[in-house]
A and B are shown apart, each in its own frame.
Chain A
Amino acid sequence: MTGGTKPAVELRALTKDFVVGLKDLRLRAVDQLSLRVECGEVFGLLGPNGSGKSTTIKLVLGLLRPSAGESEIFGVSSSRVEARAQVGYLPESPNFQRFLSGRELVSFYGRICGLAGVRLKSRVEQVLGWAGLTEAADRRVGTYSKGMLQRVGLAQALVHDPQLVILDEPTAGVDPLGAAAMADLIRQLKARGKTVVITSHLLAQVEDVCDRVAILDRGRLLLCAEVASLGNRAVASSPESLDENDRAELARWLSARGKSPGAVVAAQSRLDRIFIDEVRKNRSDSGSGSA
């Protein structure tokens, strides 16, 4: 039920204002956001804290009502329950019923999504296995570490084999091994034809797994591009961006001073650089615009 040629997610001029205080003051969290996430791609939604990423995801999931604009999942309006039938969602810093065991929790969400009998049982074991929780499956969720909560959250998101998986900060508070395992899992999901939308602050990881990224700041879309095409935008901040002759000259220059060629490395990934540049530019534009 992926809707044929319909995009997995489509946002059209999506806007969300929150009323703040008693004087009907409005805070714009998402501002005229238009995006398309195509089926089968891994899409990264990036932005600094408070940029509107989580609000956008809540709007996509129908948990918030847009002030203006539209949001659709596989061509179905996000306001409809049907839109969520093919969606798996891992919230930021997930919290679950602490008194259930991991297996009971995943089974509960599986049954909520309509699974039953042998299929439910096999899916629960399968996703617990993927999440690396088979041994801890009978422990109460209240005893899980932060990383394990993240993994059981992933298991409940995948239990009904959704076509679209939305991961909100899936590596927040997870150790590097866990983060690497999450990246592997995202690649596996892509290989199986799933669409993945991910928000993260680990830009290098996003760069590694995503096909396309969008950068948000203050609710506005600053950039939406294929990760592969971002190389053209990268400034010459890394030795890899130099041509062969310049790299050889740099190596000679370093060698003459007793340094190894690896002494100069990119301080930041290219996405880091673009992210910071775009956000700073937006803020300076907003600042001068409002002055």
Chain B
Amino acid sequence: MTTVPFSLTRVGLIAAVTLREAVRQKLVAGLALIACGFVLGVRALRDFNFGAPELKFIADFGDGVIAGFGAVLTIVLLAQLFFGELESRTALTLLAKPVWRSEFLLGKFCGVVAVVVVFCVLLTATLSVVLWQRESALRVEGFATLPAGVGFDPGALWVAAWLHIVRLTVLAAGMMLVACIAQTQLYAIIVGFSGFVVCHLQHVAQGVYSRAGSSAMAWVATLIGWMFPDFHLFTLEAGGAWTFEGVARLTVYGAGYAALALGLAVWVFRHREI
């Protein structure tokens, strides 16, 4: 009997086909265009800056657009591609070949992450151009020396982009686990969004429960903290004075959660009937 070892080549082939399929989806093009439109048109919304300096408002708004649209893209795209493959029975033909189920899942996951990377890079580049143009215009208008910390910092922008990619990768891995458990696409999407909200707001729950003084509630908060990654940490690092150590720590933190979620997804999918 010839053994068939796990193959990164097969993972890459499946990822490449997934990427090609994804970029043809109207959802991806639509979300990317709308997000780009928001970033390019951000100056029209500057009246809502709540007193923040204009460049900071543009940067924060763009960051929010990447985070929000990126999350929608990750959750819906992964659910569509996963269930589309099962419902159209293309998975049947593929899994009838000498392909490990883990290769199939990782291929799908890598294809979605590739889309996420392209999305984040595209929007961050667009945001950089918008910020650079506005900063140049402000200088021409007379703000020759912008106050310290107010000017456009490309480094911080790209660090934020990297942290978006890490966070969305974790989200994609979690979503893969949900999709492997779920029987319908709608259920997977609803649970995916709920999980995303929990990941973002768990620091609030932890704060409340720890202040409540109840050991049972503190225990629940700790459990949630272990089960769900804290996405607020990424926001804090990107919004503050980031450090290489902080970014590296968060990257390892995200990679750990992503690996765990993918491991569980592979285990669930191995027992799933196609």
Chain A residues near B98: list those with CB within 8 A: 81-82, 84-85, 112-114
Main secondary structure of the interface of B (DSSP, over half): loop
Interface residues of B in 1-47 (CB under 8 A from A): 1-4, 9-10, 13-14, 17, 20-21, 24
Q: How far is the CA of A81 from the CA of B5 in the complex (A)?
A: 9
Chain B residues near A75: list those with CB within 8 A: 1
Partner of B17, one of A108, A153, A156: A108
Partner of A61, one of B10, B88, B90, B96: B96
Q: How far is the CA of A82 from the CA of B96 in the complex (A)?
A: 11
> Does A76 sit within 8 A of B, measured CB to CB?
yes
* Mask of B236-274 contacts with A, CB within 8 angstroms, 1/0: 000000000000000000000000000000000001011
Interface centre among A75, A97, A156 (most CB of B within 10 A): A97
Q: Are B24 and A91 in contact (CB under 8 A)?
A: no
> Does B97 sit within 8 A of A, measured CB to CB?
yes
> Does B129 sit within 8 A of A, measured CB to CB?
no
Interface residues of A in 59-91 (CB under 8 A from B): 61, 63-65, 75-76, 81-82, 84-85, 87, 89, 91
> Does B99 sit within 8 A of A, measured CB to CB?
yes
Q: Which residue of A lies closest to B89 (CB)?
A: A95
Chain A residues near B96: list those with CB within 8 A: 61, 63, 84, 87, 89, 91
Chain A residues near B13: list those with CB within 8 A: 108, 111-112
> Does A40 sit within 8 A of B, measured CB to CB?
no
Partner of B92, one of A65, A91, A114: A91
Chain A residues near B2: list those with CB within 8 A: 1, 82, 85
Chain B residues near A113: list those with CB within 8 A: 97-98
Q: How far is the CA of A112 from the CA of B99 in the complex (A)?
A: 8
Q: Are A97 and B274 in contact (CB under 8 A)?
A: no
Interface residues of B in 67-100 (CB under 8 A from A): 88-90, 92-100
Q: Which residue of A lies closest to B20 (CB)?
A: A99
Partner of B274, one of A63, A87, A111, A114: A63
Chain A residues near B20: list those with CB within 8 A: 97, 99-100
A9 to chain B, nearest CB (A): 14
Q: Are A1 and B1 in contact (CB under 8 A)?
A: yes
Chain A residues near B97: list those with CB within 8 A: 84, 89, 109, 112-113
Q: Which residue of A lies closest to B96 (CB)?
A: A89
Chain A residues near B271: list those with CB within 8 A: 65
Known A81-B99, A99-B24, A112-B13: A94·B4 in contact at CB below 8 Å: no
A76 to chain B, nearest CB (A): 5
Q: How far is the CA of A94 from the CA of B91 in the complex (A)?
A: 11
Known A97-B21, A112-B10: A64·B273 in contact at CB below 8 Å: yes
Q: Which residue of B lies closest to A109 (CB)?
A: B97
Chain A residues near B3: list those with CB within 8 A: 82
Chain B residues near A82: list those with CB within 8 A: 1-4, 98
Chain B residues near A91: list those with CB within 8 A: 89, 92-93, 96
Chain B residues near A99: list those with CB within 8 A: 20-21, 24
Interface residues of A in 143-189 (CB under 8 A from B): 153, 156
Chain A residues near B14: list those with CB within 8 A: 112
* Mask of B109-138 contacts with A, CB within 8 angstroms, 1/0: 000000000000000000000000000000
Nearest first, the 6 closest Cβ-Cβ pairs linking A and B are: A89-B96, A85-B98, A81-B4, A63-B274, A95-B88, A84-B98
21 residue pairs of the A-B complex, CB under 8 angstroms, read A63-B92, A65-B271, A65-B273, A75-B1, A81-B99, A82-B1, A84-B96, A84-B98, A85-B2, A87-B96, A89-B96, A91-B89, A91-B92, A94-B93, A95-B88, A96-B90, A97-B20, A99-B20, A109-B93, A112-B99, A113-B98
Known: A58-B92, A63-B95, A82-B1. 17 other contacts (CB 8 A): A1-B2, A63-B274, A64-B273, A65-B271, A75-B1, A81-B98, A82-B98, A84-B96, A89-B97, A91-B92, A97-B17, A97-B21, A99-B20, A99-B24, A108-B13, A112-B13, A113-B97
